Amino acid sequence: MFEVYFPMFVLIFFVFAMALGMLGLSYIIGKRVRTKEKLSTYECGNVPFEDARGRFSVKFYLVAILFIIFDIEVVFLYPWAVIYRKLALFGLIEMGVFLLILLAGYFYIIKKGALNWEENEEIT
């Protein structure tokens, strides 16, 4: 039974050996010049203007959650598209109902102002 898994263990060994070898060589050969620019915080090419541990607005998290929810719901379109011909008219109607519910939720969050970034507007 061991001979079945032997090639896999050899591959895992070589992968780890290669990774450790590359890390070791980069540590031995690489230059380590510490400058003020290299030690400063990097924020997308901009000079940092405040502490990175500051508080984020709730709007940021709300938009992130909404993106994840709608992104996951759109993933359900792929299996439907794969077997579209087998489902025929029934599948078309069911997907239409699904998309109408999805659009209703999208228009609801737009109406509530969840995607507006102005500071003075509150989500109710």
pTM here?
0.48
Nearest to 64 by CA among 114, 18, 111: 114
120 in any annotated domain: no
123 in any annotated domain: no
- pLDDT recorded at residue 64: 87
The residue type of 30 is: G
- Residue-wise pLDDT tens digits, 11-61: 999 999 999 999 999 999 988 888 887 777 766 766 667 766 777 778 888
- pLDDT recorded at residue 123: 55
Place of tokens 């940021």: 60
80 in any annotated domain: yes
List the domain range (segments joined by +) for residue 28: 2-112
* Among 18-22, 85-89, 98-102, the range of highest mean pLDDT: 18-22
Q: What CATH number corresponds to the domain at position 44?
A: 1.20.58.1610
Structural tokens at position 77: 């379109």
Count of the separate structural domains present in the chain: 1
Structural tokens at position 30: 């690489």
- For residues 102 and 73, is the Cβ–Cβ distance under 8 A? yes
124 in any annotated domain: no
